[in-house]
Structure 1
Amino acid sequence: MTTLTRFRHSGTALAHSLSPTAWRSTFAMRPADAIFAPAMKVGIAAALVLVGGGLLGHGQLAGVASLGALASAFGRYQPYPRLARILALVAAALLISAGAGAFMGAANVPIALQIVALSLLAGIAAHLFSAFGITGPGAVILVFAASAGSGYAHTFDAVPQVIAAIAAGAAVGWLVAMAPVLVAPMGPAKLAVARAIASVLRLGTDRLGTDGLGTDDAGTRPGAAAVPLRLARESVALSAGAVRTGSGRALRLQREADALNQLLDEASTARTLGGPARAAALERLARHESELRRTWRTPAVAASAAAGDHASPQGFVAAARGRIGSRESGSRALRMAAASALSGWAAVGLGLEHPLWASMGAVAALQGLNYSVTVQRGIQRLLGNVAGAVLALALLSVPLGFWPSVALVVAFQMVAELLVLTNYTLTTIAVTPMALIMTGLGSHLGPDAAVSRVADTLVGVVAGVIVAALSIPLSDRAHLAHREPAG
């Protein structure tokens, strides 16, 4: 009975991937805020690395180094003390991936074995990223770095060059991402508080329940804002740190933290209010939210006796240690590794020129938290690659030269970062020409590479969706809620 149930569940999942609902969802646009600062950091990091490499006469290595600079795209909105650790882990993962790819390229390891090694690496990285709560482009960047290392290193003398280039790029990415801590150390905390307040304000706009407290059409109670409030308190605590000295900076940060915690206390209290008191509290919180998003000022808030000590956030490593044994995360990592390997082998069997691009397509699709998101990301990546390839075809048909290529890479990276939280299809349209131009820096990459990119992506997406459907847990039923109505 269990086998039959799983077979039916997998069949329904596969049918969902072809449904009009699944394809329509790929065009949904999500609201996103505070997108310019992360995009600027990624653009600045890429520009510094590419321009520096170009001036030193190492155009192709500059392209490899720019993959290291993509470390700056991870952990957006994290408080700076935690961001420093996140970026260090990402940099280490990039070094291992690029180094492994370069070593295999220099040793002429058969491509089928390279695919196995890099697929396992992607799965392990995805599991570790999940355990440490590392958000961003995900394990697909590691496969990209390994592919670049393998393509560059044809002799063992080139392996240290690849590692040095990735290390230099990652160092630049770390410095650029961390630089705002010098002028706005509480910036991420203020944004987190603003978002927590916004979640409380959304509850206030819902229709009122019979008890006078806000509920939405699904019956959600004010507890829905509990997670943003908890994350905001954690961000405030991490951003302020412990006051170990009497320095002016430490005391100023503590005063700002006290004010932000007071705002969170007010937001938490507002969830339980009713009538005119609730309306007045929400109006006051709305003004504070607007001011917080400027990030340069902390609203002046009167001290309250109700504000007390708040629990310290769990340590970065301690929290990961508790999640490292997650069976769900481990299963996702195994599915990712299997899909990556199968898609890469399929690309080899089909005679495609860049089989690791197929592996990247599978890894990117399987970064979704459930099957519904996997299908959505797969379709978005495929459609985005087709549109992006058309754009890349036009660009690669003309001799761009190194410096125009650098300008285009930086511009496309910034556009991708601006769009990544809004719609993945639009993001992929920008990423595709960026990746192709970056791959061709210092060497000629013809227009046929754009066609190959689409073919490899198709193989990767199909393999990823099939593996996800065949291994879908019986508890994963999110896609069933979006089925077309009968009749």
Structure 2
Amino acid sequence: MPAATSDLHNPPTATRLRHSRGALAHSVSASTWRRALEVRPADATVAASLRVGAAAALVFVGCGLLDLRQYVGFAVLGALASAFARHEPMVRVAAKVTLVGVLVVAFVAGGGLLALARVPMWAEVALMSVGAAVAAMSVSAFRITGPGPVILVFAATAAAGYVTAPGDLVHVCSAAAIGAAVGLLAQTAPLLVLPLGPARLAVARALSAVAALDRGGSVEPARVAIVHAREKVALSGVRGGDARHHRDLIALLDEAEAAVDDWTAGDRTRLLDVVGHEAELRKIKRRSIIFDHSAEVGVSALPRPEGFLATGMSGLRSRAVLDNAARIALASACAGWFAAAAGLASPLWASMGAMAAMQGVSYAMTVQRGIQRLLGNVGGAVIGALLIAAGLGYWATALVIVAFQVSAEVMAARNYALTSLVVTPMALLMVGLGVHLSPEIGVSRIVDTLIGVTIGVVVAAVTISRSDLQHLHTSTDADQPTDRRSSSRVAAM
């Protein structure tokens, strides 16, 4: 059929409606829900998770001994900055974790000011939704990996529910700032001892991607992993006795790249040689002997990484970042207003549910995160209600929260439902440290999450890009478009 005739019978509005209907059908298919329960493999999670737990534990001990227990929840929120920018070189950890800490304090201050202004709930939801958009833009534009911008909105929500006087605002902001400083210390201290640790891990992962070629893997992921590793090595810099190991890592990446070229030509000899170094690089060591330096080892030049601020400012002007921020603001506002109209006690939790669901890089990922958050929140709310009913004391609560935090970090890369299962009771216990909660709060949390996830998925379906086709690979709805070509990911986060 000629293009003009096709356009006549399939105007853009009709095409978008069919695409949105197909997207909604995908969200309720059995295969989609089954995939949400899959547990993915992950590496290098324990040490990073323990650092986050150590930061939280230090804050709990300090506030407990100094009799500042009413502010410990905000200090722990600040300490969660240590959960961001894991496996990054020192220069990036310092910049990104500091920025997250500043944002946490800013959002705590914003939530506290909203409480002092005593704005009506509809306006509070609207302003928090704008804050959600700003949080999403900041994290995405500056490429800050970690728990995501929902932590910033949670910090603002907690302050809005706690602050009743200007003095409270000063105290909670100070607690968040101190916690953020502890989080920064927890993230950077290990890098003082193992400055090339992130570079070693990045090279090990690149070798793993190269090794996958021999198991039927494709060339593109291997090349991408090598480029990523080169950037990490370049950012790690060289100091003193680490110069030789730094040079070895570059040479190893050169060998890995040559191994990929040889493999594409049908020769796997070099591939078998180079991937054998992966196990050594995954050991927690300052340096390893990889090449014989009795002879000079030639290495290629490393790329010059783009500056952190330049990357962030460019990202803030990105159309994809701005569009996603607008979608998050819309979903958050709609969820919060719906919850408020329904008479629920915590409409802002519904807003957070919508925001968390929409942090996926594609519609398929948005649906998966929404399902996982819903399932995790249901189980987590029950656990939280039981713990609240048990009437745990300060130290017992601190121990449980730290254990939940470490567990959440270990599970974060494996399955978001398992992460939500422990994050939900942790969040409820943290809120309970500042204000009295009853076990019935678990029911409210479930309902708010259901509203947030549902509205988030609907908004994502209505605003889906026509180039976002990932969900079509597994959907069977008859009304879906028939174009099943490889999808292009939408930069949503």
Range of TM-score over shorter length? over 0.9
Distance 1:324 1:436 in 2: 33
**Aligned residue for 2:282?**
293
Residue equivalent to 2:19: 9
List per-residue Cα deviations over 1:257-305 (Å, max 9, x = no partner): 1010011011000011149994442333232100000030323213665
Counterpart of 2:88 in 1: which secondary structure?
A: coil
- Distance in 2 (alpha carbons) for counterparts of 1:196 and 1:426: 28
1:44 to 54, 57, 77: 54
Superposed counterparts of 1:453-464, under 5 Å: 453-464=445-456
2:254 & 2:53 partners in 1: Cα distance?
Answer: 37
| Distance across 2 between alignment mates of 1:388 and 1:275 | 48
**Residues 329-354 of structure 1, C-alpha deviation per residue, up to 9 Å, x if partnerless?**
21111100111111111111111111
TM-superposition CA deviations, 1:402-460 (whole Å, max 9, x none): 11111100000000000000000001001011111111015431110111111111111
Q: Find the partner of 2:327 among 335, 339, 343.
A: 335
Q: 1:147 is aligned with what amino acid?
A: T
Match of 1:265 in 2: 254
Q: Distance in 2 between matches of 1:468 and 1:155?
A: 38
1:97-133 superposed Cα distances (whole Å, 9 cap, x missing partner): 1100011112212222121112111112212211111
Per-residue deviation at 1:483?
1.2
Alignment of 1:27-426 (within 5 A): 27-206=37-216, 216=217, 220=218, 222-241=219-238, 250-274=239-263, 278-296=267-285, 297-302=287-292, 306-426=298-418
Q: In structure 2, what is the Cα distance between the partners aligned to 1:437 and 1:78?
A: 30
Structure 1 residue 470 and structure 2 residue 462: aligned?
yes
Matched letter for residue 102 of structure 1: G
Residues 237 and 257 in structure 1, CA contact (< 8 A), matched pair in contact too: no
Do 2:350 and 2:449's aligned partners in 1 also have CA atoms closer than 8 Å?
yes
1:20 equivalenced with 2:10 (yes/no): no
- The amino acid across from 1:327 in the alignment is R
What one-letter code is carried by the residue in structure 1 that aligns with 2:256?
A: A
In structure 2, how many angstroms separate the alpha carbons of the residues matched to 1:378 and 1:334? 18
Higher mean C-alpha deviation, range 318-327 or range 184-193: 318-327
Q: Is the 8 A contact 2:384 2:442 kept in 1?
A: yes
CA distance in 2, matches of 1:468, 1:152: 32
Following superposition, the deviation at residue 3 of structure 1 comes to 0.7
Distance 1:277 1:461 in 2: 49
Q: Taking structure 1 as the reference length, what is the TM-score of the superposition?
A: 0.92
AA partner of residue 291 (structure 2): V
TM-score, structure 2 as length reference? 0.91
Are the equivalent residues in 2 in contact too, given 1:291–1:299 (CA < 8 A)?
Answer: no
Query: Which deviates the most, 30-39 or 128-137?
Result: 128-137
Number of residue pairs matched by the alignment: 465
Paired residue secondary structure (2:366): helix
Question: Does the 8 Å contact 1:190/1:295 carry over to 2?
Answer: no
* Contact 1:42–1:73 (8 Å) recurs in 2: yes
Q: How far, CA to CA, are the matches of 1:441 and 1:412 in structure 2?
A: 15
Percent identity (aligned): 46
Structure 2 residue identity aligned to 1:259: D
CA drift of 1:177 comes to 0.8
Conserved? CA contact 1:97–1:118, under 8 Å: no
Deviation at 1:32, TM superposition (A): 0.1
Secondary structure class of the residue paired with 1:273: helix
Q: Which amino acid aligns with 1:481?
A: H
* Per-residue deviation, 1:158: 1.0
* Counterpart-to-counterpart distance in 2, 1:367 and 1:132: 15
- Work out the CA distance in 2 between the residues paired with 1:203 and 1:175: 39
Aligned residues of 2:260 and 2:271 also touching (Cα < 8 A): no
Q: What secondary structure sits across from 1:83 in the alignment?
A: helix
1:431-450 to structure 2, matched below 5 A, reads 431-450=423-442
2:345·2:444 contact (CA, 8 Å) conserved in 1?
yes
Say whether the 8 Å CA contact 2:254–2:300 is kept in structure 1.
Answer: no
Gaps in structure 1 of 5+ consecutive residues: 207-215, 242-249
Distance 1:397 1:77 in 2: 38
d(CA) in 2 for partners of 1:13, 1:402 = 46
Amino acid at match of 1:433: P
Distance 2:447 2:83 in 1: 27
Q: Is the 8 A contact 2:81 2:184 kept in 1?
A: yes
Q: 1:86 to 1:403 in 2, by over 3 A?
A: same
In 2, Cα distance between equivalents of 1:277 and 1:327: 42
What is the CA deviation profile of residues 29-64 of structure 1, one whole-angstrom value per residue up to 9, with x for unaligned ones? 111000011110110111111221122222221011
Distance 1:100 1:167, change over 3 A: same
The answer to whether the 8 Å contact 2:263/2:271 transfers is no
